[in-house]
Amino acid sequence: MAVAAWRKGIAEFIGAFTLIFIGAGAILTAGSTSTSDLLLVALAHGLAIGVMVSALAHVSGGHFNPAVTFGALVSRQISPRLAVVYWVAQLLGGLGGALALAGVFPASIWQPYHLGTPTLGNTVSLGWDVGIGTGILVEAILTFFLVFVIFGTGIDPKGSFNAVGGLAIGLTISIDIMMGGPLTGAAMNPARWFGPAVVSGFFDNWYVYWIGPFIGGAFAALLYANVFLEKSR
């Protein structure tokens, strides 16, 4: 039986909400965005998505990310109408997760970190400034890895790790953050940026977190769909 679009939308909302509440929340509980807490933050994001994909992928596919949905759209794995439903649900989920964090933590704790909003690395944390072009490239490559793994485990019915797709997807997010966290925050997801940014009012270099993920997601989706995904006869 086909799942109604509104049910899929609720699933996407819950997944995005979880990512922000747990992922960005880990930054606030750690009280730092430094590399010393990178493993904690990476695992929090990866496990949050891993468990939600395992719980809800059978409902909506477990996108929880506008860039993943965009990749599915351009590779014709999802209809334009359903993609819009997903995008609205994902952004609202991100916003809801950020509002929940703002309600849990006092402003004195979350304001220094802009509620966990991803941002480009600077001379204080890295010893060099990450530029706009570099930031877009990093986000595109990291999102490419994520969407490629999602196609290979969650979308391709013949994927060898289909039954444990949540684990593979969660681990991909974690390793992406381990590498790219200090550079861009490793959002890989416009909803991950959108919720905390809107609630905290921090919009620096906002376009990095839309352009990069959408480019990387589209490229990964088109590559997998045209090279590895067997067409139904």
- Nearest CA among 2, 12, 1, 7 for reference residue 191: 12
- Taking only the tens place, the pLDDT of each residue in 128-153 is 788 999 999 999 999 999 999 999 98
Query: What was the pLDDT predicted at 90?
Result: 98
CATH number of 5-227: 1.20.1080.10
Confidence of residue 232 (pLDDT cuts 50, 70, 90): low
Residue 7 has a pLDDT of 96
Domain ranges of the chain: 5-227
**Predicted confidence (pLDDT) per residue in 16-71, tens digit:** 999 999 999 999 998 755 555 899 999 999 999 999 999 999 899 999 999 999 99
pLDDT over 80 (residue 160): no
Distances (CA, A) of 79 to 18, 62, 143: 25, 16, 21
Buried/exposed 166-199: b ≥16 CB within 10 Å, e otherwise: bbbbbbbbbbbbbebbbbbbbbbbbbbbbbbbbb
For the segment 187-205, what is each residue's pLDDT rounded down to a tens digit?
Answer: 999 999 999 999 999 999 9
Residue-wise pLDDT for 79-135, tens only, equals 999 999 999 999 999 999 999 999 999 999 999 999 999 999 865 566 778 899 999
When pLDDT is averaged across residues 200-227 and rounded to a whole number, the result is 97
- pLDDT score of 159 more than 70: no
| pLDDT at res. 129 | 84
The upper half-sphere exposure of residue 174, i.e. CA atoms within 13 Å in the direction of its Cβ, equals 16
For residue 162, name the pLDDT band (cuts at 50, 70, 90).
low
Q: Cβ atoms within 10 A of the Cβ of 85, count?
A: 18
SS3 (DSSP) at 148: helix
Query: Which tokens is 104 given?
Result: 């849990």
pLDDT value for 223: 97
Neighbouring CB atoms inside 10 A of 18's CB total 20
Amino acid 4: pLDDT: 92
Element (H, E) at 48: helix 38-60
The reported pLDDT for the residue numbered 155 is: 84
HSE of 146, CA atoms in CB hemisphere, 13 A: 39
How high does pLDDT run on average in the chain? 91
Query: Helix, strand or coil for residue 65?
Result: coil
Q: Which residue's structure tokens are 């909400």?
A: 17
